[in-house]
Amino acid sequence: MKRILVTGGAGFIGSAVIAHLQRAGHEIFVIDNLSFGNRQFINVDDKHFFNADILDENRMDEIIGSIRPNIIIHLAAIHFIPYCNQHPYESSNINIRGTIHILKAARKYKPEKVFFASTAAVYPIYDNAVNETFATGPMDIYGLSKLTGEHLCNEFHLQSQIPVVVCRFFNAFGPNETNPHLIPEIQKQVLEGKRKIQLGNLTPKRDFIHTFDMAAAVETLLTQVKEGIHTFNLGRGIEYSVTEIVDAFSKAIGEKIEIEVDPARVRKVERQHLLADVSKLKSLGWEPKIGIEEGIKTLVQ
């Protein structure tokens, strides 16, 4: 049993990671300012929950000093790309300065391991599956802020020798979505009873990974990575188009759903492909289990 601190634990991915680690018997602590997260998403009592902002350096030092976690999983960030583009200062400040504060406290209180949530957005456009050795080249402020976080982790590791896992998450889906991404948007319109739904770009393909599979991957990485700093892609390794996602909803409800392109939703800059090569992670024994159809079926239910 480990004492595990999850920053941003009340969020979409954090809530799945926490439930998984609790089932594995770990003691979980959470720092979250609830700006996007929800206290109800997690089963953590008030003694283990700290409503605090990672921008507050002294408070981070105080909290981490009082918890003395064995492991820090740093998920707190602003990550919805349109929001980051509209609020570049706020989002880069939280994603970079906030990360500096967590790593500074980690240097002082020396956990056994640090896990950093990075993103597929650190990669430029590639037409084929990307592996971790591909050159990075973020296309937006969000990807740039996360790539900076990776550099900060590297510096932290060199100075402290504390093992670090840098995990590049691809597109997550599952329960407890906090941001208006594609799948919750379709879900919302379908559950409102619409059978002709309004969407933006239809051609881009994305690698969707269920948060339960992500949570299992986090556990695998925490167990298996014992030294050094290692970067892993975390995706499903399968690309799905918008039309395929809508078809999965059609199947789940047993009714036909039509798509109408809403020009107001069309993003001007959009990657056509984003596909993970996850062989490095799979070599540690992890396998994703939940496919898009099954995942969407449970969402609709």
Ligand X SMILES: NC(=O)c1ccc[n+]([C@@H]2O[C@H](COP(=O)([O-])OP(=O)(O)OC[C@H]3O[C@@H](n4cnc5c(N)ncnc54)[C@H](O)[C@@H]3O)[C@@H](O)[C@H]2O)c1
Catalytic residue annotation: 142
Taking the least distance from each CB to ligand X, the nearer of 57 and 194 is 57
Nearest to 190 by CA among 253, 243, 241: 253
Tell me the closest approach of the beta carbon of residue 78 to ligand X, in angstroms.
6
# of chain residues touching ligand X (CB under 6 A): 30
* Residues 132 and 280 sit within 8 Å (Cβ to Cβ): yes
Candidate list 64, 73, 78, 84; residue touching ligand X; CB under 6 A:
78
| Residue 167 interacting with ligand X (CB under 6 A) | no
Q: How far, CA to CA in Å, does 286 sit from each of 22, 75, 113, 278?
A: 19, 21, 19, 10
| Residue 55 interacting with ligand X (CB under 6 A) | yes
192 DSSP 8-state letter? T
Sheet of 205-210, strands arranged across: 171-173, 205-210, 239-241
Tell me the closest approach of the beta carbon of residue 261 to ligand X, in angstroms.
23
Residues 139, 163, 39, CA angle at the centre, nearest 5°? 70
| Residue 77 interacting with ligand X (CB under 6 A) | yes
| Residue 14 interacting with ligand X (CB under 6 A) | yes
* Per-residue tokens: 155: 């510096």
Spell out, one character per residue from 172 to 201, where the chain touches ligand X: x when CB under 6 A holds, - when not.
x-----xx----------------------
Q: By three-state DSSP, how is residue 240 classified?
A: strand
Tell me the closest approach of the beta carbon of residue 250 to ligand X, in angstroms.
23
Within the chain, strands assigned E span: 3-7, 27-31, 49-50, 71-74, 113-119, 164-169, 171-173, 196-199, 205-210, 229-234, 239-241, 258-261
134 DSSP 8-state letter? S
272 DSSP 8-state letter? S
| Residue 169 interacting with ligand X (CB under 6 A) | yes
Tell me the closest approach of the beta carbon of residue 255 to ligand X, in angstroms.
27
| Residue 235 interacting with ligand X (CB under 6 A) | no
Window of 167-175, 242-250, 251-259, 276-284 that interacts with ligand X by CB under 6 A? 167-175
Window of 47-55, 106-114, 127-135, 241-249 that interacts with ligand X by CB under 6 A? 47-55
Tell me the closest approach of the beta carbon of residue 279 to ligand X, in angstroms.
19
Cβ neighbours, 10 Å, residue 152: 17
Rounded CA gap, 214 and 173, in Å? Answer: 10
| Residue 75 interacting with ligand X (CB under 6 A) | yes
Tell me the closest approach of the beta carbon of residue 252 to ligand X, in angstroms.
20
User: Rule CB under 6 A: which of 101-140 touch ligand X?
Assistant: 117, 119
Q: Which residues bind ligand X (CB under 6 A)?
A: 8, 10-14, 31-37, 53-55, 75-79, 94, 98, 117, 119, 169, 171-172, 178-179
